[in-house]
Amino acid sequence: MSTLNEISEALQKGRAKLVKELVPKALEEGIAPRAILEDGLLAGMNVVGEKFKSGAMFVPQVLMAAKCMNAGTEILKPHLTSENSEPLGRACLGTVKGDLHDIGKNLVRMMFEGQGIEVVDLGVDVAPETFVQTAIEKDCSIIACSALLTTSMPSMGAVVEAAKAAGIRDKVKIMVGGAPVTERFCNDIGADAYTPDAATAATVAAGFLSAS
């Protein structure tokens, strides 16, 4: 079995210690960090998602897989990000209200920081007003929202409305993403950018900050 498959299987089985051994092994074998993330860790997480959906896996097992994902990405972090010394600008980032999923949000943070963007990480279950208040207080040019649940997505629209109500809509770019989010949804709520993955989000955010 290839090391990438071993990583995927170890994550599916919730074996964090093994993931911590296999990720450095894959790096030593010369496998690209991005491939380890996408074809090892995320591939395993997709299987977990399918099994969770069909009832073949339950919350405690999914939490173990999430722990493996975090352990793996922590090791990959220095290899995925190229530290820029000059900060490009500041963004506040969070998972929207009612939503506790944070793995994708943490990846976005990692990629933003790698592009030299300072991140104010608001965590999970973040109210629309908190995004906006933080953007004002910390002088953030970008509000970045992640959502994994179809039921929490509407909160992204509330962020756009809260920014308008606070009079800062023309001063911030609002970026949205997460598995159920689409370009169309982004346009419907009047956000500025939808991106399908964390790396693309960081590139787009850097573009916004360079242009401002």
Three-class DSSP labels, 147-188: CCCCCCCHHHHHHHHHHHHCCCCCCCEEEEECCCCCHHHHHH
Choose which of 7, 19, 66, 120 interacts with ligand B1M (CB under 6 A): 66
Q: Is 120 in the site for ligand B1M (CB under 6 A)?
A: no
* Rounded-to-integer distance, Cα 93 and Cα 97, Å: 12
Closest CA to 35 of 4, 77, 78: 4
Q: Which is nearer to ligand B1M, 26 or 201 (CB)?
A: 201
Helix or strand holding residue 144 (H, E)? strand 142-146
Mask of contacts with ligand B1M, 70-99, x by CB under 6 A?
Answer: ----------------------------xx
Q: Is 48 in the site for ligand B1M (CB under 6 A)?
A: yes
Structure token digits, residue 147: 């959502």
Q: Which stretch binds ligand B1M (CB under 6 A): 12-20, 128-136, 142-150, 161-169?
A: 142-150
Closest CA to 81 of 115, 54, 132, 57: 115
Q: Is 63 in the site for ligand B1M (CB under 6 A)?
A: yes
Q: Is 103 in the site for ligand B1M (CB under 6 A)?
A: yes
Query: Total binding residues for ligand B1M by CB under 6 A?
Result: 38
Q: Is 108 in the site for ligand B1M (CB under 6 A)?
A: yes
Q: Do 80 and 110 meet the contact criterion of CB atoms below 8 Å apart? A: yes
Q: Is 203 in the site for ligand B1M (CB under 6 A)?
A: no
Question: What is the phi/psi pair of residue 101, to 5°?
Answer: -75, 130
Q: Which is nearer to ligand B1M, 22 or 176 (CB)?
A: 176
Q: List residues near ligand B1M by CB under 6 A.
A: 42, 45-46, 48-49, 52-53, 59, 62-63, 66, 98-105, 107-108, 144-146, 148-151, 175-180, 195, 197-198, 201
